[in-house]
Amino acid sequence: MKALLCREYGPIDRLKVEEVPSPRPGPNEVVVEVKASSLNFPDALLVQGLYQVKPPLPFSPGMELAGVVTQVGTGVRNLEPGDRVIASPGRGGFAQECLVPAERVSRLPAGMDYETGSAFMLTYCTSLHALQDCGHLAPGETLVVLGAAGGVGSSAIEVAKAMGARVIAAASSEEKLAFCQALGADETIDYQTGDLRQRILDLTSGKGAEVVYDPVGGTHTEAALRATAWRGRLLVIGFASGVIPQVKLNLALLKERSLIGVYWGDWVQRDPDGQRRNVERLAEWFAQGKIRPAVSERVALADAPAAMTRLLQRKVKGKVVVVPGA
Ligand SMILES: NC(=O)c1ccc[n+]([C@@H]2O[C@H](COP(=O)([O-])OP(=O)(O)OC[C@H]3O[C@@H](n4cnc5c(N)ncnc54)[C@H](OP(=O)(O)O)[C@@H]3O)[C@@H](O)[C@H]2O)c1
């Protein structure tokens, strides 16, 4: 089978498509024929050796996928060859076949195609876990989403709207903001040209937002934190800007604000039942037409490195899907 291989941590253009042996399932594992997988920011960090996890070399990136189960290992109870599934293996999705622990596999929701399914797990599950379990976002509250046209950002817009919140989307260009509006954002802020803090205050009649979803970091974090309301919550999702901000804790004291870390990948291991419930809730919203992954590009395996580079250059909106069979 063909796989995009990372043989050494380093520049993205060293990734190459190679012929490798098909995987065989061990106990509690399944092999999935990958119909589609999707690109996430951590894939780009992983291959450069900049992520918190460093897989043994060589490996294939690709954290989430959709496809068909072809083999099941001993001990696997609820899956069999032929099942249509979505999965978050953490790596290995940019290949024609992928070995996945059975506990990381869910059924492809009814009515969902493989490309949509491949972009459904990581971003939407992160956003639902963040907004519901960590941020306790309530109907009628105002949420500010930073990096709102990106992968997790665009899912946060849809999840928050499904939860009944008002959404202010912040991003770096008019084109990206129009994309966010099409996804349901109520208001938008261009944080490249405007004053983020002042614009949030203007849009909330001086009160501030109840919750901020922050996958970007850098200077935007403090500006958004300063524009949160009494008992506002800032959800720390990631640092796509490359800068981990350092904020002064008097900002927390002054309005009883909270800074809340979100680590979906770890939470899933700690609360598999909670994760199962969240996937069911997301599948219901999908069936009701409330959420739908915003797939903006489809590429072949060999073109995944170029797409990864575009992602790092902030040139991607929504999600890029990789089709290994193309
Ligand atoms: N905590 C968790 O459980 C969890 C789960 C998944 C992902 N994450 C993290 O969330 C972050 C975003 O992931 P993603 O897949 O949504 O990425 P993405 O699709 O690339 O979106 C990131 C957004 O960040 C903004 N950005 C600002 N400065 C940037 C820079 N220097 N380089 C790249 N983007 C920049 C861009 O929007 P503008 O151009 O509009 O500024 C971009 O749309 C990553 O740090 C990832 O590791 C965390």
Tell whether the model's pLDDT for residue 245 goes beyond 90: yes
Give the residue-averaged pLDDT of 3-21. 97
Task: Answer whether 238 contacts ligand 1 (Cβ < 6 A).
Answer: yes
Q: pLDDT band for 194, please (50, 70, 90 cuts).
A: confident
Question: Best mutation site among 129, 172, 181, 314 for ligand 1, i.e. most ligand atoms within 8 A of its Cβ?
Answer: 314
User: pLDDT value at position 7?
Assistant: 97
Instruction: Name the closest-CA residue to atom 4, ligand 1.
Output: 237
Q: pLDDT band for 326, please (50, 70, 90 cuts).
A: confident
User: pLDDT value at position 25?
Assistant: 98
Task: Answer whether 263 contacts ligand 1 (Cβ < 6 A).
Answer: yes
CA angle 95, 98, 102 (to 5 degrees): 160
Question: Best mutation site among 40, 133, 196 for ligand 1, i.e. most ligand atoms within 8 A of its Cβ?
Answer: 40
Task: Answer whether 147 contacts ligand 1 (Cβ < 6 A).
Answer: yes
User: pLDDT value at position 148?
Assistant: 98
Q: How far is the CA of 21 from the centre of ligand 1 (A)?
A: 33
Instruction: For residues 19 and 21, give the distance between their C-alpha atoms in angstroms, rounded to a whole number.
Output: 7
Instruction: For residues 114 and 29, give the distance between their C-alpha atoms in angstroms, rounded to a whole number.
Output: 21
Work out the burial of residue 182: count CB atoms within 10 Å of its CB; fewer than 13 is exposed, 13-18 middle, 19 or more buried: exposed
User: pLDDT value at position 86?
Assistant: 97
Give the residue-averaged pLDDT of 167-196. 97
User: pLDDT value at position 217?
Assistant: 98
Give the residue-averaged pLDDT of 86-105. 96
Tell whether the model's pLDDT for residue 66 goes beyond 90: yes
Q: How far is the CA of 324 from the centre of ligand 1 (A)?
A: 24
Torsion over CA: 122, 123, 129, 130 (sign): positive
Q: How far is the CA of 27 from the centre of ligand 1 (A)?
A: 35
Calculate the average pLDDT of the chain.
97
Tell whether the model's pLDDT for residue 177 goes beyond 90: yes
Q: Where are the domains of the chain?
A: 2-120+294-323, 123-265
Task: Answer whether 240 contacts ligand 1 (Cβ < 6 A).
Answer: yes
Which residue in 317, 272, 274, 275 sits closest to 293, CA to CA?
A: 317
Indicate the CATH number for domain 2-120+294-323: 3.90.180.10
The token pair at 33 is 């024929």
Q: Which atom of ligand 1 is nearest to the CA of 173?
A: 40
Give the residue-averaged pLDDT of 72-86. 97
In Å, how far from its chain's centre is CA 164?
A: 21
Residue 198 C-beta-side C-alpha neighbours within 13 Å? 4
Percent of the chain with pLDDT over 90: 98
Give the residue-averaged pLDDT of 114-138. 97
Which position has the token pair 């992160």? Answer: 126
Give the residue-averaged pLDDT of 277-290. 96
For the beta carbon of residue 2, count every other beta carbon within 10 angstroms: 18
Q: How far is the CA of 237 from the centre of ligand 1 (A)?
A: 9
Q: Where are the alpha helices (DSSP H) in the chain?
A: 41-47, 114-118, 121-128, 151-162, 174-182, 196-203, 219-226, 250-254, 264-270, 272-287, 304-312
The token pair at 182 is 């099409």
Q: Which atom of ligand 1 is nearest to the CA of 220?
A: 27
Architecture of the domain made up of 123-265: 3-Layer(aba) Sandwich (3.40)
Contact indicator for 17, 309 with CB cutoff of 8 Å: no
Give the residue-averaged pLDDT of 85-114. 96
Task: Answer whether 217 contacts ligand 1 (Cβ < 6 A).
Answer: no
pTM of the model: 0.96
Which residue in 12, 41, 221 sits closest to 123, CA to CA?
A: 41
Tell whether the model's pLDDT for residue 52 goes beyond 90: no
Q: pLDDT band for 244, please (50, 70, 90 cuts).
A: very high
Q: Which atom of ligand 1 is nearest to the CA of 266?
A: 3
Work out the burial of residue 139: count CB atoms within 10 Å of its CB; fewer than 13 is exposed, 13-18 middle, 19 or more buried: exposed
